[in-house]
Amino acid sequence: MSIMREEYGFDFGSQAEAYAQFRPPYPPRLFEELAARGVGLTGQRILDAGSGTGLVSLELARRGCAVSALDVSAQQLAKQRELAASEGLSIETFEAGFEHSGLPAQSFDCISAATCWHYFEPAAAARETRRLLRPGGRLAVIYIVWLPVEGSLAQRTEELILKHNPAWTLAGLLGLPNRVISELTAAQLGPLDIVSFDHPVRFSPGQWIGRMQSCGGAGAGGMDSAAWAAFSRELAALLARDYPQGAEIPHRSFAAVLTLDASEPAGD
């Protein structure tokens, strides 16, 4: 089992289909930025931690990497295997938490962790990163988050989520990159190289509701069935009234690439 921080109780596995269909893909520019920093190069052996349905691992496999996908959710991994098979891609999957993966030491050139590092216990995740990477290996912690601009659909949706799930802690996700940078800096694994850029993602009304179905604060475990039904009715009414053609939602893509010291010893 993964060490999951106590403030989260999400079940993304229950929404594997919605996750695969409605979560926006990471933009091509992000993979180009990663490649410029030595992550995602042809032939590299890469572990995609917290891999989910494969938004990153599938693209890395397309780019010629030897990819292993790690996740706590059997349902998410099953969907990823289905998607990989449909493209003729080979990805090895492991059902485990990242902090105690059980994978062999020094077995990867790179580790990617996409929109999931905040679910890991940072000290344990840093130890496992040090153990799994080869000397000089790289960790890429990646995020794509919507920008809740004042008065925007994203901001109004966050208000609705909080109305039906006041305990949700991830409203205004913009703080996550700074939190990740602080944790990686404190881990003292090696130097950081950071890239961040904004870009729009267009959603139809149905796609935006599907995106909320795969959101941890809403349909993926954050609300019970009654709260989800009320939330989705209100969101559908908002979309029909103010966004009948859908909307472009501003997003931010972010990556922090850490290079392990070439003399760094592996863990036990």
Residues 180-227 have pLDDT tens digits of 889 999 999 999 999 999 999 999 999 999 999 888 788 777 788 999
Domain ranges of the chain: 12-147+171-200+250-259
pLDDT score at 173 = 66
Which parts of the chain register pLDDT below 50?
Answer: 1-9
CA atoms within 13 A on the CB side of 241: 7
Please tell me the distance from the alpha carbon of residue 210 to that of residue 114, in angstroms, as a whole number.
20
Please tell me the distance from the alpha carbon of residue 264 to that of residue 239, in angstroms, as a whole number.
52
Cβ contacts of 162 within 8 Å, gap of 6 or more: 168, 171
pLDDT score at 29 = 98
Beta strands (DSSP E) in 17-83 are 45-49, 66-71
- Angle in degrees, 0-180, between the axes of helices 225-242 and 153-164, rounded to the nearest 10: 160
pLDDT score at 216 = 79
Q: Three-class SS of residue 102?
A: coil
pTM of the model: 0.89
Q: Which amino acid is at 259?
A: T
Superfamily of domain 12-147+171-200+250-259: Vaccinia Virus protein VP39 (3.40.50.150)
